[in-house]
Chain A
Amino acid sequence: MTTLAVVSAGLGQPSSTRLLADRLAAATSGALPDVTVETIDLRDHAHAMVDATLTGFPSGTFRAAVETVTDADGLIAVTPIFNASYNGLFKTFFDVLEDGALDGTPVLLGATGGTARHSLAIDHAMRPLFAYLRASAAPTGVYAASEDWGSGETALPDRITRAGTELAALMSARPAPPKPGPYDAPVPFEELLARR
């Protein structure tokens, strides 16, 4: 069984960011044989996320959301673009993950905005974030401006399908490696001493 986590940083309800996230999830899961999709609306965890930045640990249902993402075989991360970048909610979520939590995880990047003028924010803002996190981002990112939702053109659906297929291929090619915890296999002390 493969798991696909979907993180949406949309603030409205209903949210066009969530709408895009769902479309991307459908495109991805349609290209995989056996996949469970788990979607997290960050808005539901807004207070808990700020608490976690202050206390250093995720609490309550937010902890389960974090584990869903860090244990997933693939991730779809979608944010509205605010002031030329991802919104604060989106960044806060990735700030509270443990170091290495997304090492090698295939990720599909998506973003929404009022106009197409911000579409490069995916490549200028989101992609460097996921490079830092050592996640493996699919080549195609999908940006949906308001106008795309009422367009008869197939540009957006085509991009969604292409991106979903890419993520599915990354997930199939690279099953998530086991991530040993930091306390499972300590570096023997003689080795620590010799490293000096």
Chain B
Amino acid sequence: MQFGIFTVGDVTPDPTTGRVPSEAERIQAMVAIADKAEETGLDVFATGEHHNPPFVPSSPTTMLGYIAARTERLILSTATTLITTNDPVKIAEDFAMLQHLAGGRVDLMMGRGNTGPVYPWFGKDIRDGIPLAIENYHLLHRLWREDVVDWEGEFRTPLQSFTSTPRPLDGVPPFVWHGSIRSPEIAEQAAYYGDGFFANHIFWPKEHFQQLIGLYRRRYEHYGHGSADQAIVGLGGQVFMRKNSQDAVREFRPYFDNAPVYGHGPSLEEFSAETPLTVGSPQQVIEKTLTFRDNFGDYQRQLFLMDHAGLPLKTVLEQIDMLGEEVVPVLRKEFESLRPAHVPATAPTHASRLVEEVR
């Protein structure tokens, strides 16, 4: 199992102090969080891509390239890369460049964006969301696998004799995840290509995601990539920990109550009962995270949201320390002891894909 952090990079006032970090502070905080992820032995750091305030990460490969230079083991990823509004040619180029600079420590997750206006801002039509995701990824997939591409589609200028440079490192394209919280078409797409499927299930009850992940697994097998339980699944998570669970609840409650996504709605207790959110002791986080496997089967990547809703950087870094020191080592052991031998332990890495390639 790979464990890591994913961040949306929101600039949110700290509800307990009213303090709003500057963009500069928030960007440096994201870097510090990635550094901390590596330091505490986590495997993955993934950044969102957004083109509207209050979010800062509009340029993921710039940030990930910088983090690549500061780290040695961490896999650098996205959550998500907008396959709808970015030019797939530029995605192919940017991430191949990043892959070279990071020595292969790169994968990426396709997504469709979190706000309607991003489509018109980039000259697209939101009603084409799914067709854009399908056509653009089809081109991206070819650009990384064929040295010379002739292409004609609906959404971009045709290509004649186009070579995307640099070619993927060692001729091995970065592993791709497709992220979706509700579109069956995206689960189908991930299954068709034998790519990973990431379900950020942190805001909704499990029943919905059991259907979505179940669809991906069935279709993965249908397309001949392996058995359903060998499909590559990633999940989200959202935790806040203190040694004593009452302390965690007391400290996190104002952040929960004012959080951009669910604030001023259900209580922390109600929301925790219905979703993966865990506010409590490290042991409670371990227990809740283990239920994900019960709900969705053996899976390969677990990303936690740690730095949202205005939590100060100091607190976030303490949380990642606890995650890396007290939670993840136990989860690694537990998940590994439960995993059947024929199920992949982790998502494909550059090294593992290189071996596959040689075969």
A contacts, CB < 8 Å to B: 50-51, 54-57, 59-60, 181-183, 186-189, 192-193, 195-196
Partner pick for A55 among B134, B185, B262, CB 8 A cutoff: B262
Is the beta-carbon distance between A59 and B266 smaller than 8 angstroms? yes
The answer to whether B298 has its CB under 8 Å from any CB of chain A is no
- 6 A–B contacts from the bound complex (CB under 8 Å): A54-B266, A59-B270, A59-B274, A60-B270, A189-B189, A196-B153
Asked whether, in the complex, the Cβ of A183 is within 8 Å of the Cβ of B184, the reply is yes
Q: 1/0 contact trace for B141-155 toward A, CB 8 Å? A: 000000000000110
CA distance A182 to B130 in the complex (A): 15
Which one of B130, B153, B204, B214 lies within 8 Å of A56 (CB-CB)?
A: B204
Given A183-B212, A187-B185, check contact A55 B154 (CB 8 Å).
no
The smallest C-beta distance from B219 to any residue of chain A, in angstroms, reads 6
| Contacting pair A186 B184 (CB below 8 A) | yes
Which B254-290 residues have a C-beta within 8 angstroms of A?
261-266, 270-271, 274
How far apart are the CA atoms of A57 and B265 in the complex, in Å?
Answer: 11
Complex Cα gap A189–B191 (Å): 9
* B131 part of interface (Cβ distance < 8 Å): yes
User: Do A54 and B262 form a contact, CB below 8 Å, given A59-B274, A183-B214?
Assistant: yes
B203 within 8 A of A: yes
Nearest Cβ on chain B to A71's Cβ, whole angstroms: 15
Is A50 in contact with B265, judged by CB distance below 8 angstroms? Answer: yes
Q: Which residues from A are CB-within-8-Å of B153?
A: 196
Q: How far is the CB of A77 from chain B (nearest CB, A)?
A: 25
Please give the residue numbers on chain B whose beta carbons come within 8 Å of chain A beta carbons, in ascending order: 130-131, 134-135, 138, 153-154, 184-185, 187-189, 191-192, 203-205, 208, 211-212, 214-215, 219, 223, 261-266, 270-271, 274
**Cα of A99 to Cα of B215 in the assembled complex, Å:** 20
Cα distance, A85 to B134, chains bound together (Å): 42
Given A189-B191, A192-B130, 14 other A-B residues pairs in contact with their CB atoms under 8 A: A51-B265, A55-B261, A55-B266, A57-B203, A57-B205, A59-B205, A59-B270, A182-B184, A183-B212, A186-B187, A188-B188, A192-B134, A192-B189, A193-B134
Q: Are B215 and A186 in contact (CB under 8 A)?
A: yes
Question: Taking CB as reference atom, which chain A residue is nearest B132?
Answer: A196
Q: When chains A and B are docked, how far (Å) is the Cα of A196 from the Cα of B132? A: 8
Q: Which residues on the A side are within 8 Å of B154 (C-beta)?
A: 196
Contact partner of A57 among B204, B214, B219, B261, CB < 8 A?
Answer: B204
A183-B189 in contact given A51-B270, A56-B203, A195-B131 (Cβ < 8 Å)? no
Q: Closest CB of chain A to B127's CB: distance in Å?
A: 13
In-complex Cβ contact of A186 among B185, B266, B270, B274 (8 A): B185
- State the Cβ distance, B208 to closest chain A Cβ, in Å: 7
Chain A residue contacts of B185, Cβ below 8 A:
186-187, 192
CB distance from A13 to the nearest CB of B (A): 24
Closest A residue by C-beta to B213:
A183
Chain A residues, Cβ within 8 Å of B203: 55-57
Give the CA-CA distance A196 to B265 in the complex, in Å. 40
Give the residue name and chain of the B residue nearest to A59 (CB). B274
CB-CB under 8 A from A181, the residues of chain B are: 211
* Residues in A whose Cβ lies below 8 Å from that of B223: 189
Evaluate contact between A183 and B271: CB separation under 8 angstroms: no
Nearest opposing residue in chain A for B205, CB measure: A57
Chain B residues lying within 8 Å of A196, measured Cβ to Cβ, are 131, 134-135, 153-154
